[in-house]
């Protein structure tokens, strides 16, 4: 699943977004036969950058080229301030942490060079989400965070998470990729549905490949 939102370029002097994207320099020949589908993704991205929020569905069987298609799509995007967050769903049994793929992806980005900026914005806009990332905080930061999260429920996390992405989205594109979305839990599905409602994005369901249809979400301000 891929989400494209209009995102604010918020890094300070370097003017780098907190989820700055550096494309992989690599060719993906498997996508040569998927030129039409690649064009559909690029069209949705262009619509998103023009302020037309989009949700595109793209899914398929294992080994049909989903990841290669998305990597090719990302490598061909040229837009200043482009940000990307890539989350990974894993098949789980038993109790699962709410919204697990997204905090896991945010934690990885918090450990990158501009991670402190991401932590600051989470602390201000989505403290209940930052509380899921205690491994990237020191003891003083945890002590300052605790009064903000005395009553954590999924309700505040839905509202704070949507507010975080909404505030993040302003002038430059932001892409959220959710790999293996068919394995995402109920909390993650609820959050994505809530984002669709808040962002009022239009659904597109015409990006289909032979034996391949994977979820792709594109939205923008």
> Does the model's pTM come out above 0.85?
no
The confidence band for 141, taking pLDDT boundaries of 50, 70 and 90, is very high
Residue 136 has pLDDT above 60, yes or no: yes
Is 173 in contact with 45 (CB distance < 8 Å)? yes
Q: Taking residues 171-185, what's their average pLDDT? A: 81
Mean pLDDT of 134-138: 94
Q: Which of 40-44, 123-127, 136-140 has the lowest mean pLDDT?
A: 40-44
49-92 pLDDT, tens per residue?
Answer: 887 877 777 777 777 778 888 888 888 887 777 888 889 888 87
pLDDT > 70? residue 27:
no
Q: What is the mean pLDDT of the chain?
A: 77
Residues with Cβ within 8 Å of 23's Cβ and at least 6 positions away in sequence, in order, are: 74, 75, 77
∠ Cα 175 176 177 (to 5°): 115
Check: CB of residue 102 under 8 Å from CB of residue 188.
yes
């Amino acid at each position: 699943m891929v989400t494209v939102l209009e995102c604010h370029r918020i890094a300070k002097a370097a003017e780098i977004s907190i989820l700055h994207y550096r494309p992989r320099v690599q060719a993906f020949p498997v996508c040569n036969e998927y030129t039409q589908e690649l064009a559909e993704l690029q069209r949705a991205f262009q619509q998103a950058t023009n302020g037309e929020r989009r949700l595109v569905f793209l899914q398929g069987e294992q080994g049909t080229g989903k990841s290669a298609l998305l990597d090719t799509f990302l490598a061909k995007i040229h837009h200043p301030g482009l940000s990307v967050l890539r989350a990974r769903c894993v098949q789980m049994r038993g109790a699962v942490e709410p919204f697990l793929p997204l905090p896991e992806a945010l934690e990885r980005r918090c450990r990158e060079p501009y991670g402190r900026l991401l932590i600051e914005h989470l602390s201000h806009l989505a403290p209940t989400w930052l509380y899921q990332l205690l491994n990237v905080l020191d003891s003083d930061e945890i002590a300052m965070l605790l009064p903000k999260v005395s009553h954590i429920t999924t309700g505040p996390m839905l509202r704070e998470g949507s507010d975080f992405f909404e505030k993040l989205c302003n002038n430059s594109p932001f892409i959220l990729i959710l790999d293996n979305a068919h394995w995402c839990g109920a909390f993650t599905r609820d959050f994505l549905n809530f984002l669709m409602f808040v962002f009022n994005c239009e659904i597109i369901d015409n990006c289909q490949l032979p034996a391949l249809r994977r979820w792709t979400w594109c939205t923008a301000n």
